[in-house]
Amino acid sequence: MARAAVALINLDALRHNLQRVREAAPGCHVMAIIKANGYGHGMVRVARALASADAFGVASIDEAIVLREAGIETPITLLEGFFEAQELALIQRYRLGVVIHHAAQLDILEAHPLSTPIPTWLKIDSGMHRLGFAPEKAQDAWRRLKACRWVANPIRLMTHLASADDRHSPQTLHQLECFNAVISGMEGERGIANSAGILGWPQTHADWVRPGIMLYGVSPFVDGAAVDDVQGCTNAAGAGDGMDAGGRATQGAVAGCAGAVDALKPVMTLTSKLISVNRFKKGDAIGYAASWVCPQDMPVGVVAIGYGDGYPRHAAPGTPVLVNGKRVPLIGRVSMDMVTVDLSSQPGAQIGDSVTLWGQGLPVEEVARCASTIPYQLLCGVTQRVRIVESGERYD
Instruction: Write out the catalytic residue numbers.
Output: 35, 288
Q: Is the backbone of residue 189 left (phi > 0), alpha (psi -120 to 50) or beta?
A: beta
CA distance 235 to 206: 14
Say how far apart CA 8 and CA 5 lie, in whole Å: 10
How many whole angstroms separate alpha carbon 283 and alpha carbon 308? 29
List, in sequence order, every beta strand (DSSP E) within the chain. 6-10, 29-33, 55-58, 76-78, 96-100, 120-123, 156-158, 190-193, 208-209, 268-280, 285-286, 292-293, 298-303, 320-323, 326-331, 339-342, 354-358, 387-391
Give the Cα separation of 356 and 4 in Å (integer). Answer: 11
The CB density around residue 158, as the number of other CB atoms within 10 Å, is: 26
Alpha helices for the chain (secondary structure H): 11-24, 35-39, 43-49, 61-69, 87-93, 103-111, 135-147, 171-182, 195-200, 251-262, 364-370, 375-380
The phi, psi pair for 146, rounded to 5°, reads -65, -35
CB 79 within 8 A of CB 56: no
CA 101, CA 111: separation in Å to the nearest integer?
Answer: 17
CA 58, chain centre distance (Å): 12
Handedness of CA 216, 219, 220, 224 (dihedral sign): negative
Closest CA to 190 of 216, 209, 171, 213: 209
209 CB burial (10 A radius; 0-12, 13-18, 19+): buried
Distance, CA of 18 to CA of 264 (rounded, Å): 9
